[in-house]
A and B are shown apart, each in its own frame.
Chain A
């Protein structure tokens, strides 16, 4: 069955957002519903995810430390009882943080210059797996 993807896309800083909008547009092109959280704290992301009933969260981290922000986000999601919503990351994610983040449950990490088609396919698959 075709799953309607509701994708919350948030980021950690106000100013730098080229990749953020490129990814948002690319996913819109696949027919997904995109909720633009813009620049949000982990607490705000968890709240928007709950309010908007999304089935996948994309968090662009560039200025902050992923090893601090991801556990914070998951904690806030647990408080809202939505910790099963899959999380994908993009942005500047240090290579040595990846095992830690994956262990924490992050489904996928997209690095700079990942082809957009690859991001589209992965996100559709992760969101569908979650709903089915």
Chain B
């Protein structure tokens, strides 16, 4: 990119500088001489034009919205939607449908326009009156059993205006969402949204993709969750590579069902992490876009540019959030949110500072939302597309991560692809987590307030407890076991009042559907509206299929 004679000149200047620098560095103690990124990439003290000399403008960078999308998936980045540059999407699910609906409305009153719902009926377990929900119902996710609960949950929420993500990979959750939309007068073909349908060789996953491909062209039906893999310990390059490998494996599985890559890939969205290493994360998002584009175009032979474009929801890193000095977590999560926005994600959840202690309250979740609003509207970060592009360090690191990720994808492919290499990937992730723990225990990595700069009497905890005792709002969430009793009462009332003849018919229909190979979603949309409970569906399904669902099987990390 740079003319040869200029490069020579720079090399000459750098040589002199390097000598000077060496004299200073030689005096630094041995263990502080070398620096690494969070993922272990060895750094140099400074990066110069020489480090980006091999870059090729059109292959490596190009313009925003152009292959390989290093700078942005969209030609205008955030510019076309400056009043709401990215979706500020907090995960919400608390108490029963009533409490969660109230929390959503509070968030919307504060300017949010997107949500992720956790704990909708999934049909992957019994109803709330089973003993296994003791101590769980409504604690860290919403307790809901029927379509009536979903109606309460979405009461007053206009699905045309609010961007909804369902944290579920089950056909029944999708069926309920479709039925809710139809009640609002929105047909499946016009319905937007996304769900955590992690790409995996399993009935629900394939049926969701198949159904949406035919009926819901605007819905993001495929999901690559590497955010939780990163939480579990993997590196930045692994986050990229494991995600791409999962995408490739899904494309292959879909092909067996007669679905072309260009039919599935444009409807895949990513779930990614944003971690403490500021610059590495910016480079990671850039490299992720590029490697995904190359994977889809070159390895999967996709022809539609929409298949090459990376779309992502991001949630900030949590393993470094501390119970000690809890307000430090506000600072941490703010810092972690910045590379996500500089890196150009489409949607973001900023962890609340109390998530290491309990489920977030209105108070703490409000701070998360305000963090995003301040970044979006007060800092100017969203005014320029890919603002760090061209930095010698960022460009060098983007390339480095790209190369590492590509080589990891080759390794996974040599093991037969993501689904066959699952165990190997899992071991890699756990190895990294153990290494990371060791560094913390040995004090090689500092966590403020934990293994350094800690105090006997934790001032922040004292302040927090005072707030909890004296503020006119809930400062720290306290689980109320009576939530379960409330939901049981509600469930019993629904069981009494529903048309049980219709429910019996629905049961028969679902049994036959699950027994056959036909896509269950159309019949589920009909069935759920009788207020058949998720526990009833779970029982029928287990009988019909002769096995229980193993939720953990396709979880990495």
Chain A residues packing against B (C-beta within 8 Å): 12, 14-18, 21-22, 25-26, 38-39, 41, 43, 62-69, 72, 92, 94-95, 111-113, 115-117
Contacts and interface: CB of A to CB of B under 8 A. Distances in A.
A18 B231 contact: yes
A69 B134 CA distance: 7
B41 interface: no
Nearest to A96: B478
B139 interface: yes
Given A25-B430, A112-B322, A113-B440, A14 B552 contact: yes
Nearest to B426: A21
Interface in B478-528: 478-479, 481
A65 B135 contact: yes
A21 B437 CA distance: 11
B136 interface: yes
B59 interface: no
Contact of A64 (B136, B232, B557): B136
- Which interface residue of A26, A38, A62 has the most chain B CB atoms within 10 A? A26
Contacts of B25: none
A95 B135 CA distance: 17
Contact of B135 (A69, A111, A116, A117): A69
A16 B447 CA distance: 21
B170 to A, nearest CB: 13
21 contacts: A14-B555, A15-B552, A15-B555, A18-B319, A18-B433, A18-B557, A21-B434, A39-B552, A41-B132, A64-B135, A64-B140, A65-B135, A65-B139, A66-B135, A72-B134, A92-B357, A94-B478, A112-B323, A113-B451, A115-B451, A116-B441
Given A95-B357, A111-B323, 11 more contacts: A15-B228, A16-B231, A17-B232, A26-B434, A39-B552, A64-B136, A64-B140, A65-B135, A65-B136, A113-B322, A116-B438
B233 interface: yes
5 cross-chain pairs, A with B, having the tightest CB-CB distances, nearest first: A68-B135, A64-B135, A65-B135, A69-B135, A63-B140
Interface residues of B, number: 36
Nearest to B136: A64
A94 B135 contact: no
B358 interface: yes
Contacts of B479: 65, 67
Contacts of B358: 92, 94
B450 interface: yes
Nearest to B228: A15
Interface in B417-433: 430, 433
B356 A92 contact: yes
Contacts of A66: 135
A18 to B, nearest CB: 5
Contacts of B434: 21-22, 25-26
Interface of chain B, main secondary structure: loop
- Which interface residue of B141, B319, B441, B555 has the most chain A CB atoms within 10 A? B441
Contacts of A26: 434, 437
B1 interface: no
B437 A22 contact: yes
B551 interface: yes
Nearest to B465: A95
Contacts of B140: 62-64
A63 B139 contact: yes
Nearest to B436: A22
Nearest to B461: A95
A7 to B, nearest CB: 17
Interface in B125-141: 131-132, 134-136, 139-141
A119 B205 CA distance: 39
Contacts of B356: 92, 112
Nearest to B552: A14
B136 A113 contact: no
A115 B555 contact: no
Contact of B323 (A41, A113, A116): A113
Contacts of A21: 232, 430, 433-434
A38 B481 CA distance: 25
Contacts of A69: 134-135
Contacts of B323: 111-113
A21 B137 CA distance: 26
Given A17-B557, A18-B231, A65-B481, A72 B135 contact: yes
A113 B434 CA distance: 13
Contact of A38 (B132, B232, B451, B552): B552
Interface in B386-442: 430, 433-434, 437-438, 440-441
A76 B479 CA distance: 23
Contacts of B551: 14
Contacts of A113: 322-324, 440, 447, 450-451
Contacts of A41: 131-132
Nearest to B322: A113
A87 to B, nearest CB: 15
A114 to B, nearest CB: 10
A62 to B, nearest CB: 8
A25 B551 CA distance: 23
Contacts of B141: 63
A70 B324 CA distance: 24
B481 A68 contact: yes
